[in-house]
Structures are given as structure tokens and as C-alpha cells.
């Protein structure tokens, strides 16, 4: 197991203030911080790589002449079913379901109406894969870093703010996290209410845009260097927040432009309605 003091992150403070969405590979930054628990099985330690190649929306046109001369399929019901499953997966924005739907929708006969949608779906799939990768990585956080955070009676402000931002994304309002002792309730490694359990169950794209904007306000008060110096565990959650916020903003750009940060009163209304 690596020692916390050996973490090398010289470049991260330089990129943390760029403000350019999609330019930072947050997963690779997390890999510099998060050490895999020795208690994880090989199955749990899956790296989340996409084993299936990205389906090119022009795949049917790139086939050779023999493929073009194959027997034409007349089963319109099957084509319609593939199209419906594809559209449902696209709107649901579930990475695994979308990956399967793209794969099936790209098998001939391809519904002509899906050609233009496949390009958008592949882009969405790429962003969902990044979210999935961030989730898989944070869930590999070694228990000792959770214990490190939990041992504080009153941590440095940077640690408190990172956890507040994380918990806000997980539907825990600021009213409940203004005091560190309230945050500690969720900083457990293995319990039904733990921060990691909530991350595992989270559907980030279902989070209200106002919540994301407020979480961004909190986390933007900090820079990676000061967080890293305060706590390796907090650094892991900082990167998870930053990565998910950036990807969310790319996928839901229109909604974000129409939204305002949700403060305490609004948070209560938002969480009570979900």
C-alpha cells in the first residue's frame, strides 16, 4: 500500500483553475489519489473499461460489397423494437443500457431514423462512461482514508467544504451539514447511510441543476493543492465532485443555463419533491 506522503500531483493545481469543461481527465487524477482497498475482490476492482468498441454511426456504409448483398431483413417489428429500446436508453441516460442499445441499434437492418441519433448517442455514451469510471474509482477508496476523515472533531475548513459539496450532490442539504458532527454521520466505510453507499446508488443526471450549481459554488472556493495538503481522503472526494460537475454541465448544458444555484430554502423544496 502506498504512503500518503508519496502522492505526486504537481500538475493538478495548474489545471484545477482552467474552468474549461471537458479538458481535464478527472479519472486519471483520481487514480493518482485513490488507493484500492486490499479487501476488494478482483470482480469489485473492475476498472470499468468499455470492452465493446464504440459503434460508428456510419458502420453500415463501411461494409464491403458482400455485406451489402446479404439477404435483406423484412422484420419491421424487430427494427421498430430496436429503435424503441434505443430511444428509451438514450433518454434514461444509463451507461450500461445505452451501450447495449447502441450495439443492437447498429446491427443491420438499421432504422434510417436512427442514423443521426447514433452520433449523439455515442457522444452521450462517452460522457456516461466517464461518470461510471469516476464512480467505480471512488468506491475503491481504502477504508483508512474514510477513517482519516472520521477522526476529526473539527477538520480544516477545506475538508468540511469538500464533504458539504459531496453530500449536497447526494441530496443532503446544507442545513444538515453546516456542523461537522452532522457530516460525520455519513463518513462511514460500511453502513447503509454511508457516503460511499450513497455514491454507489446515485444517478447523477437525476440531480437538480440548481443543486449542481450550488455544489460547484462550494467546491470552487477551493483548489486542489490545499485540499491535497489537508487530506488525501478529501482530495478523492474533491476530484469526484469536480469531475461529475463538469460532465453534468456538458450533458445538461441547456438546463444549467436556465438554472440558479439552490440555497438552503430551495434545497429543502427540491429534496422533498424527489
How far is residue 223 CA from its own chain's centroid?
A: 20
Per-residue confidence (pLDDT) for residue 18, from 0 to 100: 37
Cα within 13 Å of Cα(237), Cβ side: 30
* Contact residues for 170 (Cβ-Cβ < 8 A; gap 6+): 186, 195, 198, 199, 202
> Closest Cα partner for 184 from 232, 156, 149, 219?
149
* Contact residues for 235 (Cβ-Cβ < 8 A; gap 6+): 9, 33, 224, 227, 228
Place of cell 449542481: 212
- Residue ranges of the chain whose pLDDT lies below 50: 1-22, 36-49, 51-60, 62, 65-74
Per-residue confidence (pLDDT) for residue 236, from 0 to 100: 94
| Domains assigned to the chain | 4-45+142-272 (1.20.920), 59-135 (no CATH)
Q: What is the DSSP letter of 36?
A: B
Per-residue confidence (pLDDT) for residue 103, from 0 to 100: 86
Per-residue confidence (pLDDT) for residue 213, from 0 to 100: 98
Q: List, as one string, the DSSP characters of 121-173.
A: HHHHHHHHHHHHHHHHHHTTB-HHHHHHHHT-SS--HHHHHHHHHHHHHTT--
Amino acid at each position: 500500500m502506498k504512503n500518503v506522503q508519496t502522492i505526486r500531483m504537481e500538475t493538478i493545481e495548474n489545471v484545477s483553475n482552467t474552468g474549461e469543461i471537458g479538458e481535464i481527465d478527472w479519472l486519471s487524477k483520481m487514480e493518482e489519489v485513490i488507493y484500492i482497498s486490499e479487501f476488494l475482490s478482483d470482480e469489485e476492482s473492475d476498472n470499468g473499461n468499455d470492452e465493446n468498441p464504440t459503434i460508428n454511426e456510419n458502420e453500415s456504409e463501411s461494409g464491403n460489397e458482400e455485406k451489402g448483398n446479404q439477404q435483406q431483413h423484412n422484420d419491421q417489428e424487430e427494427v421498430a423494437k430496436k429503435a424503441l429500446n434505443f430511444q428509451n436508453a438514450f433518454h434514461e441516460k444509463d451507461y450500461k443500457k445505452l451501450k447495449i442499445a447502441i450495439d443492437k441499434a447498429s446491427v443491420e437492418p438499421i432504422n434510417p431514423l436512427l442514423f443521426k441519433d447514433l452520433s449523439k448517442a455515442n457522444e452521450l455514451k462517452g460522457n456516461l462512461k466517464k461518470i461510471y469510471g469516476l464512480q467505480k474509482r471512488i468506491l475503491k477508496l481504502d477504508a483508512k482514508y474514510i477513517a482519516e476523515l472520521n477522526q476529526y472533531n473539527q477538520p480544516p475548513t477545506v475538508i468540511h467544504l469538500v464533504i458539504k459539496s459531496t453530500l449536497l450532490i447526494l441530496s443532503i442539504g446544507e442545513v444538515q451539514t453546516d456542523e461537522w458532527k452532522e457530516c460525520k454521520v455519513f463518513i462511514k466505510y460500511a453502513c447503509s447511510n454511508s457516503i460511499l453507499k450513497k455514491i454507489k446508488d446515485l444517478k447523477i443526471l437525476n440531480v437538480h441543476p440548481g443543486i449542481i450549481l450550488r455544489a460547484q459554488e462550494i467546491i470552487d472556493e477551493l483548489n486542489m493543492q490545499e485540499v491535497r495538503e489537508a487530506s488525501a481522503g478529501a482530495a478523492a472526494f474533491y476530484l469526484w465532485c469536480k469531475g461529475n460537475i463538469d460532465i453534468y454541465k456538458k450533458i445538461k448544458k441547456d438546463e444549467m443555463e436556465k438554472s440558479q444555484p439552490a440555497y438552503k430554502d430551495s434545497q429543502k423544496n427540491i429534496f422533498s419533491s424527489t
